[in-house]
């Protein structure tokens, strides 16, 4: 059987496609592993070899994923020392919340004008589900539902640039704050639910100003819930940094 030059080109393209898919799949898997697996704690050193073994792939696609996650701020790669999950850092966390407050306020304002009726109905169902979770004190499930709520609003804003930045902020904040259960009291869960409900009501009224104001206040309160147990809600900047 004769394989012509065009056949080689086709085979080459297939191999490239498969390698590209493997790299993308590895990135998705490593990212999900670091964000969802309780084994990985803020600041912990990561074993690329162990991750490769668990995913059943070579180290190459895992390193490609690590490089991308490093650029996103989810891991820190230190030459000659290793790879670490992003550590809890009060100053960096404060900056993340400041940025989130501005971007999420704008996204919610845009969502008030752009969400479809179907999307608003889906948001209302999320709120209904959250009410049950709060009454039953399902803390972990509520945290997942809260993230879904914010993602629904983001999609409704229809601004891919804001969505990309906020998705990265959500991931970094989640990784940095893992294991800090002080924000999950019954009072805080109830306050979060009420914030979500009020934001949803403003979105249904198409009240852009109120939606933005409520979203910004919500993020500010989330920041205080995390930072106040540390004895501060405000970061003092170090001269020269």
Give per-residue pLDDT as tens, 156-190: 999 999 999 999 999 999 999 886 654 457 788 89
pLDDT recorded at residue 18 = 46
Helix (H) or strand (E) holding 45: strand 45-46
pLDDT recorded at residue 20 = 55
Give yes or no for a contact between 126 and 149, defined as CB atoms under 8 angstroms apart.
yes
pLDDT recorded at residue 185 = 73
pLDDT recorded at residue 234 = 46
Residue 77: strand pairing partners = 83
Nearest Cα to 97, choosing from 172, 18, 205, 180? 172
Q: How far, in Å, CA of 162 to CA of 154, rounded?
A: 8
Q: Which of 11-25, 63-77, 137-151, 180-194 has the lowest mean pLDDT?
A: 11-25
Q: How far, in Å, CA of 112 to CA of 206, rounded?
A: 5
pLDDT recorded at residue 114 = 98
Note the pLDDT tens digit of each residue in 187-235. Answer: 888 999 999 999 999 999 999 999 999 999 999 999 988 887 665 544 3
Q: Looking at 58-196, which runs of residues are DSSP E strands?
A: 75-78, 82-85
Note the pLDDT tens digit of each residue in 26-69. Answer: 999 999 999 988 889 999 999 999 999 999 999 999 999 999 99
Q: Label residue 17 by pLDDT band (50, 70, 90).
A: very low
CB-based contacts of 26-29 (< 8 A; 24+ apart in sequence): 26/55, 26/57, 26/61, 26/62, 26/64, 26/65, 27/61, 27/64, 27/65, 27/68, 27/69, 29/55, 29/65
Helix (H) or strand (E) holding 115: none
Nearest Cα to 86, choosing from 78, 76, 95, 77? 76
Note the pLDDT tens digit of each residue in 84-137. Answer: 999 999 999 999 999 999 999 999 999 999 999 999 999 999 999 999 999 988
pLDDT recorded at residue 5 = 44
Helix (H) or strand (E) holding 231: none
Residue 82: strand pairing partners = 78
Question: pTM of the prediction?
Answer: 0.80
The token pair that represents 211 in the structure block: 């939606």
Between 139-157 and 186-204, two packed helices, what is the crossing angle to 10 degrees?
20
Percent of the chain surpassing pLDDT 90: 71
């Amino acid at each position: 059987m004769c394989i012509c030059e065009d056949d080689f080109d086709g085979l080459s393209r297939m191999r490239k496609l498969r390698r590209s898919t493997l790299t993308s799949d590895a990135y998705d898997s490593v990212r999900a592993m670091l964000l969802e697996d309780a084994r990985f704690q803020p600041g912990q050193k990561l074993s690329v070899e162990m991750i490769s073994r668990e995913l059943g792939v070579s180290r190459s696609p895992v390193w490609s994923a690590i490089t991308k996650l490093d650029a996103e701020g989810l891991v820190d790669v230190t030459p000659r020392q290793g790879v670490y999950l992003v550590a809890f850092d009060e100053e960096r966390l404060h900056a993340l919340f400041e940025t989130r407050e501005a971007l999420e306020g704008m996204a919610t304002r845009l969502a008030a004008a752009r969400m479809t009726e179907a999307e608003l109905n889906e948001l209302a169902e999320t709120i209904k589900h959250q009410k049950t979770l709060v009454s039953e004190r399902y803390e972990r499930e509520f945290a997942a539902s809260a993230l879904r709520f914010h993602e629904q609003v983001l999609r409704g804003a229809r601004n891919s640039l804001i969505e990309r930045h906020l998705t990265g902020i959500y991931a970094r904040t989640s990784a940095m704050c893992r294991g800090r259960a002080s924000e999950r009291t019954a009072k805080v869960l109830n306050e979060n639910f009420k914030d979500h409900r009020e934001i949803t009501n403003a979105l249904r009224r198409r009240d852009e100003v109120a939606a933005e104001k409520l979203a910004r206040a919500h993020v500010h309160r989330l920041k205080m819930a995390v930072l106040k147990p540390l004895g501060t809600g405000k970061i003092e900047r170090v001269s020269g940094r």
